Structure 1
Amino acid sequence: MMVNESATLAALPAPASKIKLVVSDMDGTLLTPEKQVTHHTLAAIDALRQAGVPVCLVSSRPASGIEMYLEATKLDTPYGALNGGSIFNPDHSIRSQLSLTPDVMRDTLDMLKVHDIDAWLFRGRDWLITDIGEAYVEPERRALRQDPTVVPSFDNYLDGVGKITGSTADYEALTRQEMEIGALLDGRASVARSAQWYLDITPLNANKGYALRQLADFYGISPQEVACIGDMNNDLPMFKAAGLTIAMGQADASVKAHAHFITSTNEQEGWSKAIETVILPRATRAD
């Protein structure tokens, strides 16, 4: 573990000295590249539990993709799906839910089509696609343990959508579209990559910073008493909201520049090391 010594660090406030809640990303952070939770991670979660510090998960995944890990991690805390657009109570009931507007839907789908980027819709608990043969459908199906629903077009599904995901193996094209679609939807939606091959478009307030504030409110604490851990651009809104921020070792430099600390990669027990060396010494039981 090391302190981030980038120039950006000088502009960050000092990391919080008391932490009452941990909010964590999943893919690339809590999970290994094989989408597993290691025994070191489970031990770190248990150590936080003993210290009275809850762990809440916030992910670009739909609810089902988060809930499949709750039993293994023994987490009975609220969580945020679809980059925070949907917040769920510990009993899996919906606490809050945001949806994309029809104009954002149309503009986004048009841009993805023009640039030959596959589009998926996440609507309620449904995952909608138009072609089962798209490159990343099968890996995502395995990761979520959920089958997509194939529809002839998205024309009849423009309401109640919590997230559009664009997927492609052309990483450079997706990086460009993060900027172009972000500019097109400025002030209307949140646009950020959740992986090199995924671009997520969510409602304007549906980002991980919004989720972190909602989860802090659930526990009656300040966001400044929250530590967060992540690895991708879609984690930056929660970095801006939290009192202490940790970037995974494999994160891009642009993400690391906004973190107080940098831990090891998710191949090298980076999550558990961050908990043990940075958070547990600051752990403070919530009232």
Structure 2
Amino acid sequence: MTKFIRAVALDLDGTIIGPDEQISSGTAKAVSRLAKLVPVFINTGRERWEVKRYGTELGLTSPQVCDNGAVIIDPLSNWEPLWHALLGSEITTKVLEKIQRERLSFIATSGRESVQDISMALGREFARISVLDVKEDQADKIMTALSATTEIQVAKAWLPYNELWAVDCTQVGVDKGSAVRKVGNLLSIGTRHMACVGDSYNDLPMFRECGLSISMGGAPKSVEEEADFVVPPVTDDGLVEAIKDIILPRLEIGD
């Protein structure tokens, strides 16, 4: 078996944590063990403080990714941002006005704060704006409408804690795949030497970028089809199997 993996990217919701938003003891042990061997980083659409919470629990020390690739943070510097890509104030206003017209719930985050009040968000720069808690058919319609604003990139993600969907808006070219490249540059590791695990549409850019991709069971069919391997769902500790049976045997660890 070829040994080529030198770093690992992990989605959060539906991969590390389940619908209860907790890390199982088996998953915690497997990820912590892996992180002692190679750099492991969370790559999620969630906010910085959520990554800090779970990353601290797992003992992660490599650069971590939040806001669907728009913010990279450093656990060794009190989880402060190392890099971010912001949507300009004119673009955010266009997006927020569309959200306001449809009376949709949203969150806008800069990597340092989050805003859910439209009056406090208009005219400001943000790393990510997300429409929250919509059904999948509505998410598809929102993606189509927001895609008309060519200055943004949109992606949808399933929210396992309420079984609804979110639509994430970031700067053009910013997604989980671009984040893998950024972290790779920081670590001096090429993305072909990375493995990744995820479960939703916003993980596809990461799947396409990494040398090894693993889908959690229960992911949309098109997500599973793009992965090199499929493991059981998060509720059955699929990440433990991914690490033990697929990633660990392929680790390239220096002498």
TM-score by length of 1: 0.80
Answering whether residue 51 of structure 2 is matched by residue 66 of structure 1, we say: yes
Corresponding position: 1:160 with 2:125: yes
8 Å CA contact 2:84–2:111 kept in 1: the answer is no
- The residue identity in structure 2 corresponding to 1:86 is V
Residue segments in structure 2 that go unaligned for 5+ positions in a row: 159-163
Larger RCO (CA under 8 A, 6+ residues apart): 1
Please, which runs of 5 or more residues in structure 1 have no aligned partner?
1-14, 131-150
Residue among 168, 173, 195 paired with 2:138: 173
SS of the equivalent of 1:26 reads coil
Aligned to 1:145: none
Question: Which residue in the other structure is 1:217 paired with?
Answer: 185
Question: Is 1:53–1:286's contact at 8 Å kept on the other side of the alignment?
Answer: no
On the 8 A contact 1:20/1:286 being kept in 2, the answer is no
Instruction: Measure the CA separation in 1 of the matches of 2:47 and 2:62.
Output: 16
Deviations along 1:161-201, one digit per CA (max 9) or x if unpaired, are: 1111112333311122123322x134x22201122421110
Q: Distance in 1 between matches of 2:47 and 2:100?
A: 23
Query: For the Cα contact (< 8 Å) 1:99–1:159, is it kept in 2?
Result: no
The equivalent residue for 2:156 is 193
- Could you list the per-position Cα deviations for residues 230-274 of structure 1 after superposition, in whole angstroms to 9, with x for gaps in the alignment? 111111111111000011111111211211111111111011111
- CA–CA distance in structure 1, aligned partners of residues 202 and 165 of structure 2: 13
Secondary structure (helix, strand or coil) at the match of 1:75 reads: coil
Q: What SS class does the counterpart of residue 193 from structure 1 fall into?
A: strand
Letter in 1 for 2:197: I
Hey, what does 1:135 align to over in structure 2? Answer: none
Q: What is the number of residues matched between the two proteins?
A: 248
CA RMSD of aligned residues (A): 2.0
Aligned-pair distance for 1:53?
1.7
What is the CA-CA distance between 1:286 and the residue it aligns to? 5.2
Q: How does 1:46-65 map to 2 (within 5 A)?
A: 46-50=32-36, 52-65=37-50
Q: 1:95 to 1:217 in 2, by over 3 A?
A: same
Partner of 1:75: 60
Calculate the TM-score normalised by the size of structure 2: 0.90
